[in-house]
Chain A
Amino acid sequence: MYEVLFWFLTIMAIGCALGVILSRNPVNSVLFLIATFFAISGHYLLLNAQFLAVVNIIVYAGAIMVLFLFVMMLMNLNADVEPQKSRLAQLAGMIAGGVLFLVILAALRTASLSVLDKQSNDIGLIKNLGKVLFTQYVLPFEISSVLFLSAIIGAVVISRKEEVHSTVADGSVNTSDIK
Chain B
Amino acid sequence: MTQLVYLVPLFPLIGFLINGIFWRKMPKTAGGVIGTLTILASFIVSLGIFFEVKNSGTATMVHLFDFINSGKLSIPFTFQVDALSSLFLLIITGVGFLIHVYSTSYMHEDEGMVKYFAYLNLFIFSMLLLVLGGNYLIMFIGWEGVGLCSYLLIGFWFKNRDYTNAAKKAFVMNRIGDLGFLVGMLLILYTYGTLSYQDFFGQLKGGQVIVSTSTYNWIAICLFIGAMGKSAQIPLYTWLPDAMAGPTPVSALIHAATMVTAGIYMIARSSALYNLAPMAQTLITWIGLATAIVAATIAMKQYDIKKVLAYSTVSQLGFMFLALGVGAYTTAVFHVMTHAFFKALLFLGAGSVIHAMGGEQDLRLMGGLGKKMRITQITFLIGCLAISGIPGFSGFFSKDEILAMAYAHDPILYYLGVFAAMMTAFYMFRLYFLAFTGIFRGTHDQEHHLHESPWAITIPLIILAILSVVGGYVGLPAVISEHHALASYLAPVVANTGEHHMLAGTEWMLMGISVSVSVLMIIVAYVRNKKPAFAPNTGVAKFLENKWYVDELYDAVIVRPIGAISRLLDRFAERAGIDGIVNGVGKLVGWGGDRVRLLQSGQVGFYIFVMVLGIIALFTLGFFWIR
Query: At the interface, yes or no: A3 with Cβ under 8 Å from chain B?
Result: no
- Min CB distance A81 to B, Å, is 12
CA distance A170 to B584 in the complex (A): 18
C-alpha gap A178/B588 in the complex (Å): 8
Binary contact readout A89-132 vs B (1 if CB under 8 angstroms, 0 otherwise): 00000000000000000000000000000000000000000000
Q: Bin chain A's interface residue count.
A: under 10
Q: Would you give the shortest CB distance from B364 to chain A, in whole angstroms?
A: 50
Residues in A with CB closer than 8 Å to B584 are 177-178
| Interface membership of chain B positions 522-545, coded 1 if the CB is closer than 8 angstroms to chain A and 0 otherwise | 000000000000000000000000
Chain B residues whose C-beta falls within 8 Å of the C-beta of A177 in the assembled complex: 584
Residues on the A chain within 8 Å of B588, using CB: 178
**How distant is the Cα of A153 from the Cα of B356 in the complex, in angstroms?**
74
* Distance in angstroms between the alpha carbons of A174 and B588 in the assembled complex: 14
Nearest A residue to B587, CB-CB: A178
Q: CA of A177 to CA of B585 in the docked complex: distance in angstroms?
A: 10
A178 CA to B583 CA in the complex, in Å?
11
Whole-angstrom distance between the alpha carbons of A178 and B591 in the complex? Answer: 13
- How many angstroms from the CA of A146 to the CA of B96 in the assembled complex? 64
Q: Which of B535-591 contact A (CB under 8 A)?
A: 584, 588
Q: Measured between C-beta atoms, what is the minimum distance from B619 to chain A in Å?
A: 13
Taken together as a complex, chains A and B put the C-alpha atoms of A178 and B584 apart, in Å, by 7
CB distance from A93 to the nearest CB of B (A): 14
The docked-state distance in angstroms from the alpha carbon of A177 to that of B588 is 11
Closest Cβ–Cβ distance, residue A69 to chain B (whole Å): 21
Interface residues of A in 142-179 (CB under 8 A from B): 177-178
Q: Whole-angstrom distance from the CB of A127 to the nearest CB of chain B?
A: 40
Residues of chain B lying within 8 A (CB to CB) of residue A178: 584, 588
Q: How far is the CA of A177 from the CA of B584 in the complex (A)?
A: 9
- Binary contact readout B245-268 vs A (1 if CB under 8 angstroms, 0 otherwise): 000000000000000000000000
Minimum distance in angstroms from B326 CB to a CB of chain A: 61
B623 to chain A, nearest CB (A): 14
Chain B: minimal CB distance from A23 (Å):
24
- Quick one: closest A residue to B588, CB to CB? A178
Query: Once bound together, how far apart are the Cα atoms of A178 and B589, in whole Å?
Result: 11
CB distance from B609 to the nearest CB of A (A): 12
CB distance from A76 to the nearest CB of B (A): 13
Report the separation of the CA atoms of residues A102 and B584 in the bound assembly, to the nearest whole angstrom: 44
CA distance A93 to B584 in the complex (A): 32
B residues 582-604 near A (Cβ < 8 Å) are 584, 588
Q: How far is the CB of B624 from chain A (nearest CB, A)?
A: 16
Chain A nearest CB: distance from B571 CB in Å? 22
Which chain B residues (303-350) contact chain A, with CB distance < 8 Å?
none
Min CB–CB distance B620 → chain A (angstroms): 15
How far, in whole Å, are A177 and B583 apart by their CA atoms in the complex? 12
Least CB distance, A96 to chain B, in whole angstroms: 11
Rounded to whole Å, the gap between the CB of A107 and the closest CB of chain B is 15
Bound-state Cα–Cα, A177 to B580, Å:
11
Smallest CB separation, B595 vs chain A (Å)? 14
Q: Which residue of B lies closest to A177 (CB)?
A: B584
Closest residue of chain A to B581 (Cβ to Cβ) is A177
Separation of A99 and B584 alpha carbons in the complex (Å): 39
Q: How far is the CA of A178 from the CA of B580 in the complex (A)?
A: 11
Shortest beta-carbon distance from B358 to chain A in Å: 45
Closest Cβ–Cβ distance, residue A152 to chain B (whole Å): 25
Cα A177 to Cα B577 with chains together (Å): 13
Bitwise, B480-491 to A at CB < 8 A (1) or not (0) is 000000000000
A178–B585 CA distance with the chains assembled, in angstroms: 8
3 CB < 8 A contacts A-B: A177-B584, A178-B584, A178-B588
3 nearest A-B pairs in the assembled complex, by CB-CB distance: A178-B588, A178-B584, A177-B584
